[in-house]
């Protein structure tokens, strides 16, 4: 069947024949200037998400017992001219070589995004009893030491479309770090919501940034901080654990709860918030905190396939596969350490692993991909890294 | 690790993966270099809280079903991966709303059903629609013939079998629909899918739009149960199973030459891999402008690249809602929320930073198990034409801007459909042109390759292909390629790139 096409005639049939020449004509008539490879969206992308940021330590601040803040600025000598802007609550992953190990550790940026404009980040590190990296930072790292860090990463930030205008931030111990950043940003006019920080710690000495938090609270009506001591009686503070009644005092019609601290804090808060029937959407946990602690001394053989090599290292039942690789000096690509970011995604070739809180995609599970940062061995294991 | 390969594929996007698998199946030694941590480019998924979001695939075109297989189905069958994927047909073609005119139309799949529904909406459109689908099918068949026989196209065969195709081959959508005497209102509804190609009816080739539209309406649109990441992963796993190698976190800095011939690639980490053939899933802008030694790049390649216009930039919102679709009144799968139904006016609207139009997909209405019981995944796909988005943002205002634009789009959806979703948002992620620029490396965050317009429409690209192979042994695939953007096009582009590379290889052997 041939259609009667109004206004389109037989001679249009020739168009296809001439098309190639027509196209050539357009090409020949166009500019010979060098091809544009600079685009605004890509420049912003590179600024916000650099592949790596080289930094050096320019100041170390004692924050009390066993906690220090490290002030980082760009290490211009190796090409980092500026630091990426970030959202308060995000972290960077820092790469450290200690003895034979290569470690990447996530630390929340503990300053205002405004500081990033002036090319300053701070990270605040508390000593963990058996933590290789935290002990190294507290005992060994000195002024002018140089590190490679990741771009700012993580989803523990205020999202105005989802979160309530009234935020109750619940912090335990060093879990205050994302909130000091948010508090600074509120005072700097970068964030716009009301925040009450309920800050629990064992003793008065364990409060980090107390002086700064009190200063900030004085500067802004949007901000208040309440301190609660769990193991010390002190007339200046409430005593005990954070309770339902304490929280209720600061609640309005709609509230978002941002919780950051050790696992028992998450469990306790979940119980309390359940009593208030708070929907999931209003409860945010900082995944960086509340790591899984396993026991078990069984020793397994871990075989790692990477860069065409086969590396054999030991791995204990209580250690993540990622940790065993780090200790074994294998270069990894991890960031979050809690199965969230997906950067360490690797293929489990054989063996059995126990997986905790892992945000793996359905198709990845089908093909035995795991996040070594959230996987503990239960037998000898063979895994293949993504490069 | 081996340093020498028959072919290196730069980028594990849809095109790159298919090309690599094609070559590996024919016994070639292939290395795929991917800068991200996963295969697929934007054909992927990601997890937030208890939701796994689909990054980009909501309506795969030309897949079809076992009973009525499309080109992509046949391709996956040929590649031996069909039985490893599960697809479902989405429930309806589209439900389009006009914010300006305060009207909406819901259209089904199936040509007969579609035409009948249209006649109900627009009396007197029946005949023109029947002719349209007749012509559309002819265009699809003609395109297939031309591609299969591109080395020797029999003019008489084309004249005899595709006479109407010949007449319309150089015309735009609006011109041909006018010639079919299709009422303007029917034209506006029929061109709803224009935003899948990013070019309005007055610029877009009729042949291109009609053949795509025909595939959709005749075969329906499919999506994979385990999100597009399942397709990407199945292809990637098959490549490695058959001896190919995929290296992630591996970003190519430069293509290397020896005696003026392709010799391999240099990575940003300093590693070098050798191959005489390269398939690029990366845009010609990046290859010609940055990754080739500039003296090697011929004047024509520069002129071709400069003659082209970057296509639509992507903006997406991913929502995990804490209520079921039914409870929220989200009854449809795809809501096209346009300011104007006229695609040319709507194109202008989408060229503004105030654009609040979007296509909204309710994943659970195609796959009930897409998220936990009592929850819903709703994904907004929107576009910005030109560099209007990137011109409006800085590193400092970026986070605020993306929230504001997203909220504007969510509000527009609620206003237009009367369905309230905002109070139920448990998880939200927003992808902008900056996200696409970072993740895919696309120039200015373009997700549709070059704009389909004038002599850079589908047919001119196809007939120009042979003259535009400027660097011997370098072939392109993906959304910036001959077959243009879209999932089906990018998969098929990989197949084409592999066939051309095999031809290049044979040429050398002779």
Q: What is the pLDDT of residues A284-302, one digit of tens each?
A: 999 877 667 778 889 999 9
Beta bridge partner(s), residue B261 = B258
Q: Are A226 and A199 in contact (CB under 8 A)?
A: yes
* pTM for the structure as a whole: 0.97
Name the closest residue on chain B to residue A19, using Cα atoms.
B460
Partner-chain residue, chosen from B306, B393, B424, that has the shortest CB–CB distance to A30? B306
pLDDT tens sequence across A222-251 = 999 999 998 888 888 888 889 999 999 999
Average pLDDT for B267-290: 97
Look at residue A120 and tell me whether its pLDDT is greater than 70: yes
Report how far residue A94's alpha carbon sits from residue B92's, in angstroms, rounded to the nearest whole number.
49
Domain boundaries, chain B: 7-85+225-308+452-509, 109-220, 312-443
Name the closest residue on chain B to residue A362, using Cα atoms.
B226
Split at pLDDT 50, 70, 90, the class of A357 is: confident
Cβ distance A362 to B230 less than 8 Å, yes or no, reads yes
Q: Which chain B positions have a beta carbon within 8 Å of A362's beta carbon?
A: 45, 52, 226-227, 229-230
B39 touches chain A (CB under 8 A): no
B159 touches chain A (CB under 8 A): yes
B232 to each of A363, B14, B76, B484, how far by Cα in Å? 9, 7, 12, 19
pLDDT at A290: 64
Look at residue B151 and tell me whether its pLDDT is greater than 80: no
Token pair recorded at residue B224: 């994979």
Split at pLDDT 50, 70, 90, the class of A372 is: very high
What CATH number has the domain spanning A299-384?
3.10.20.30
Complex confidence, ipTM: 0.96
Which helix (H) or strand (E) segment holds residue B238: the answer is: helix B227-241
pLDDT at A12: 76
Q: Which chain B positions have a beta carbon within 8 Å of A35's beta carbon?
A: 285, 288-289, 302, 305-306
B267: three-class secondary structure by DSSP: strand
Average pLDDT for A355-380: 92
pLDDT at A29: 96
Query: B203: distance to nearest CA of chain A, Å?
Result: 15
Assigned CATH class of B7-85+225-308+452-509 = alpha beta
Q: Are B136 and B210 in contact (CB under 8 A)?
A: yes
Name the closest residue on chain B to residue A308, using Cα atoms.
B1
Query: Mean pLDDT lowest for which of A353-357, B266-270, B502-506?
Result: A353-357
Q: According to DSSP H, which parts of B252-330 are helical?
A: 284-286, 299-307, 325-328
pLDDT at B505: 96
pLDDT at B77: 97
Name the closest residue on chain B to residue A307, using Cα atoms.
B1
Identical fold for domains A46-149 and A299-384, yes or no, is no
Nearest to B491 by CA among B137, B7, B37, B63: B63
Split at pLDDT 50, 70, 90, the class of B326 is: very high
pLDDT at A250: 96
Q: What is the mean pLDDT of chain A?
A: 94
Query: B293: distance to nearest CA of chain A, Å?
Result: 13
Query: A357: distance to nearest CA of chain B, Å?
Result: 10
Report how far residue B154's alpha carbon sits from residue B144's, in angstroms, rounded to the nearest whole number.
13
- Name the percent of chain A lying above pLDDT 70: 99
pLDDT at A237: 87
Partner-chain residue, chosen from A8, A41, A162, that has the shortest CB–CB distance to B168? A8
pLDDT at A387: 87
Nearest to A42 by CA among B216, B376, B222, B289: B289
A336 to each of A166, A176, A287, B29, B287, how far by Cα in Å? 28, 18, 8, 35, 33
Q: Report the residue of B231, B251, B434 to disrupt the A interface, i.e. the one with the largest count of A CBs within 10 Å.
A: B434
What CATH number has the domain spanning A46-149?
2.40.30.10
B353 to each of B193, B357, B436, how far by Cα in Å? 21, 11, 17
Look at residue B406 and tell me whether its pLDDT is greater than 80: yes
pLDDT at A105: 96
pLDDT tens sequence across B345-354 = 999 999 999 9
Split at pLDDT 50, 70, 90, the class of B297 is: very high
Query: Which residue would you say has higher pLDDT here, B499 or A65?
Result: B499
pLDDT at B510: 62
pLDDT at A291: 66
Domain A166-285 has CATH 3.40.50.80: yes
Cβ distance A44 to B394 less than 8 Å, yes or no, reads yes
Cβ distance B300 to A361 less than 8 Å, yes or no, reads no
Domain boundaries, chain A: 46-149, 166-285, 299-384
Burial of residue A193 (CB within 10 Å: 0-12, 13-18, 19+) is middle
Cβ distance A363 to B289 less than 8 Å, yes or no, reads no
Name the closest residue on chain A to residue B153, using Cα atoms.
A17
Cβ distance B460 to A23 less than 8 Å, yes or no, reads yes
Look at residue A1 and tell me whether its pLDDT is greater than 70: no
Report how far residue A247's alpha carbon sits from residue A226's, in angstroms, rounded to the nearest whole number.
10
Name the closest residue on chain A to residue B131, using Cα atoms.
A3
pLDDT tens sequence across B457-487 = 999 999 998 889 999 999 999 999 999 999 9
pLDDT tens sequence across B70-106 = 999 999 999 999 999 999 999 999 999 999 999 999 9
Q: According to DSSP H, which parts of B122-205 are helical?
A: 126-148, 155-161, 163-168, 173-179, 184-190, 194-197
- Name the percent of chain B lying above pLDDT 70: 100
Cβ distance B289 to A27 less than 8 Å, yes or no, reads no
């Amino acid at each position: 069947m041939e259609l009667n096409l109004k206004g389109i005639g037989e001679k249009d049939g020739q168009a296809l024949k001439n098309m190639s020449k027509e196209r050539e004509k357009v090409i020949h008539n166009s500019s010979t200037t060098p091809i544009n490879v600079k685009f605004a969206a890509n420049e912003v992308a590179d600024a916000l998400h650099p592949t790596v940021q080289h930094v050096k330590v320019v100041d170390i601040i004692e924050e009390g017992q066993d906690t220090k803040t490290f002030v980082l600025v760009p290490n211009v000598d190796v090409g980092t001219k500026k630091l990426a802007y970030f959202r308060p609550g995000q972290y960077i992953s820092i790469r450290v070589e200690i003895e034979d190990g290569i470690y990447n550790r996530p630390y929340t940026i503990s300053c205002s995004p405004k500081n990033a404009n002036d090319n300053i980040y701070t990270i605040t590190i508390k000593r963990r009893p058996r933590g290789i990296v935290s002990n190294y930072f507290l005992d060994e790292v000195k002024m002018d030491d140089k590190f490679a860090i990741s771009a700012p990463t993580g989803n523990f930030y205020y999202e105005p479309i989802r979160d309530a205008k009234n935020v109750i931030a619940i912090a335990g111990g060093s879990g205050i770090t994302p909130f000091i950043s948010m508090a600074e940003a509120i005072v700097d006019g970068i964030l716009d919501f009301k925040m009450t920080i309920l800050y629990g710690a064992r003793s008065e000495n364990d409060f980090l940034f107390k002086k700064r938090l009190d200063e900030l609270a004085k500067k802004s009506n949007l901000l208040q901080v309440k301190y609660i001591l769990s193991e010390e009686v002190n007339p200046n503070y409430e005593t005990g654990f954070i309770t339902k009644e304490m929280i209720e005092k600061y609640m309005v019609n709609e509230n978002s709860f941002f919780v950051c601290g050790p696992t028992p804090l998450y469990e306790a808060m979940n119980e309390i918030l359940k009593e208030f029937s708070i929907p999931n959407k209003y409860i945010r946990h900082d995944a960086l905190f509340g790591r899984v602690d396993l026991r078990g001394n069984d020793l397994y053989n871990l075989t790692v396939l990477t860069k065409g090599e086969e590396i054999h290292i030991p791995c204990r039942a209580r250690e993540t596969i990622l940790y065993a690789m780090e200790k074994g000096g294998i270069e990894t690509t991890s960031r979050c350490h809690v199965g969230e970011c997906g950067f360490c995604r690797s293929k489990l070739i054989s063996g059995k692993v126990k997986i905790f809180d892992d945000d793996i995609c359905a198709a990845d599970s089908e093909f035995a991909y795991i996040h070594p940062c959230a996987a503990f061995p239960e037998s000898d294991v063979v895994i293949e890294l993504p490069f | 690790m081996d340093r020498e390969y028959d072919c290196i594929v730069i980028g594990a996007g849809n095109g790159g993966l298919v090309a690599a698998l094609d070559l590996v199946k024919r016994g070639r030694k292939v290395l795929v270099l991917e800068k991200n941590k996963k295969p697929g480019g934007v054909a992927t998924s990601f997890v937030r809280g208890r939701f796994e979001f689909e990054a980009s695939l909501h309506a795969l075109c030309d897949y079809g079903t076992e009973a009525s297989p499309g080109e992509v189905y046949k391709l996956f069958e040929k590649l031996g991966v069909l039985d490893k994927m599960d697809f479902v047909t989405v429930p309806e073609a589209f439900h389009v709303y006009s914010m300006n005119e305060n009207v909406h139309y819901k259209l089904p799949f199936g040509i007969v059903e579609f035409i009948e529904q249209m006649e109900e909406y627009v009396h007197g459109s029946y005949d023109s629609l029947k002719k349209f689908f007749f012509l559309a099918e002819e265009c699809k068949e003609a395109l297939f013939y031309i591609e299969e026989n591109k080395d020797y196209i029999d003019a008489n065969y084309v004249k005899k079998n595709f006479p109407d195709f010949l007449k319309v081959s150089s015309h735009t959508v609006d011109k041909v629909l006018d010639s079919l005497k299709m009422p303007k209102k029917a034209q506006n509804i029929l061109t709803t899918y224009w935003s899948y190609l990013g070019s309005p009816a007055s610029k877009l080739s009729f042949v291109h739009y009609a053949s795509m539209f025909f595939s959709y309406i005749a075969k329906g649109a499919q999506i994979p149960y385990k999100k597009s990441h399942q397709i990407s992963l199945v292809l990637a796993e098959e490549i490695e199973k058959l001896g190919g190698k995929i290296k992630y976190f591996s970003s190519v800095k430069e293509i290397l030459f020896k005696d003026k011939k392709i010799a391999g690639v240099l990575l940003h980490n300093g590693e070098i891999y050798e191959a005489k053939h390269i398939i690029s899933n990366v845009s010609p802008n990046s290859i010609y402008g940055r990754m080739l030694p500039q003296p090697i790049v011929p004047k024509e390649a520069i002129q071709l690249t400069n003659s082209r216009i970057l296509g639509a930039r992507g903006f997406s919102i991913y929502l995990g809602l804490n209520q079921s679709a039914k409870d929220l009144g989200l009854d449809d799968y795809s809501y096209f929320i346009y300011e104007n139904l006229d695609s040319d006016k709507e194109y202008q609207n989408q060229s503004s930073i105030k654009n609040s139009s979007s296509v909204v997909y309710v994943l659970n209405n195609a796959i009930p198990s897409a998220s936990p019981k009592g929850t819903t995944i709703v994904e907004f796909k929107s576009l910005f034409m030109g560099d209007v988005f990137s011109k409006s943002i800085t590193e400092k205002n970026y986070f605020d801007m993306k929230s504001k634009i997203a909220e504007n789009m969510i509000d527009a959806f609620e206003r237009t459909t009367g369905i309230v979703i905002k109070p139920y948002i448990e998880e939200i992620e927003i992808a902008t042109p900056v996200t696409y620029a970072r993740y895919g490396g696309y120039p200015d965050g373009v997700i549709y390759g070059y704009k389909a317009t004038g002599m850079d429409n589908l047919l001119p690209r196809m007939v120009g292909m042979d003259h535009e192979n400027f660097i011997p042994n370098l072939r392109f695939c993906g959304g910036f390629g001959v077959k243009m953007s879209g999932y089906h096009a990018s998969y098929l582009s990989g197949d084409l790139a592999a066939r051309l590379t095999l031809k290049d290889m044979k040429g050398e052997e002779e």
